[in-house]
Amino acid sequence: MADVKVLKTKVKGEVDAVMPRLVEMSDWIGKHPELGSEEVESSKLLAGELKKHGFKVEMGVNGMPTAFKAVMKGKGKGPTIAFLCEYDALPGIGHGCGHNMIGTSGLGAGIAVSKLMKELPVNSGSSAPPLRRGTARAAAPRRRWRRPASSRE
């Protein structure tokens, strides 16, 4: 098992390395608001960045053209870590909800963790959730996750 303090230091360094690009993307999405299910350019921007970092990206998940799933395999079997990226805007308001920052934050976390995948027994994924305001569709059934009893304090 990898040293947690060492991994935290490494992942913080990876976040710092991608931070300028994350801010650039957040600013662009903030200046170009797209409503739910209409985020054509924003989804291309985020999915394209994940591809640049080695993720396998699938567009149009659950029949929604602007939803995507990006996956990177870790070493061996293990749990999957998911990072959600919301980037839809509000009608008449734009990104008053901060989804331009939420989307790029999830993206940055996914990218940072992906750089350590060879050291972790996990899989990583970033997803643009197809659940949008005013719709009743969700990406997948949700399961409640619980830490194993041996790791609870």
Annotate 52-121 with DSSP letters as a single string: HTT-EEEESGGG-TT-EEEEE--SSS--EEEEE----BBTTTBSTT-HHHHHHHHHHHHHHHHTTGGGSS
Instruction: Tell whether 148 is covered by a domain.
Output: no
Would the pLDDT of 140 be above 80?
A: no
Instruction: Tell whether 79 is covered by a domain.
Output: yes
Would the pLDDT of 151 be above 50?
A: no
CATH number at residue 15: 3.40.630.10
Domain that holds residue 73: 4-134
| pLDDT band for position 1 (cuts 50, 70, 90) | low
Tell me, yes or no, if the pTM score tops 0.75: yes
Pairing of strands 56-59, 68-72: antiparallel
H/E run at residue 125: strand 123-127
| pLDDT band for position 131 (cuts 50, 70, 90) | very low
Instruction: Tell whether 146 is covered by a domain.
Output: no
What residue type is 152 in one-letter code?
A: R
Return d(Cα 153, Cα 137) in angstroms, integer: 36
Instruction: Tell whether 149 is covered by a domain.
Output: no
Which two structure tokens, joined as six digits, stand for 75? Answer: 């070493």
Instruction: Tell whether 152 is covered by a domain.
Output: no
pLDDT score, position 127: 59
Instruction: Tell whether 105 is covered by a domain.
Output: yes
Greater confidence, 125 or 84? 84
pLDDT tens, position by position, 75-116: 767 788 888 888 999 999 999 889 999 999 999 999 999 998
Where residue 36 falls (left for φ over 0; alpha for ψ -120 to 50; beta otherwise) is beta
Instruction: Tell whether 119 is covered by a domain.
Output: yes
Instruction: Tell whether 143 is covered by a domain.
Output: no
Total tally of structural domains belonging to the chain:
1
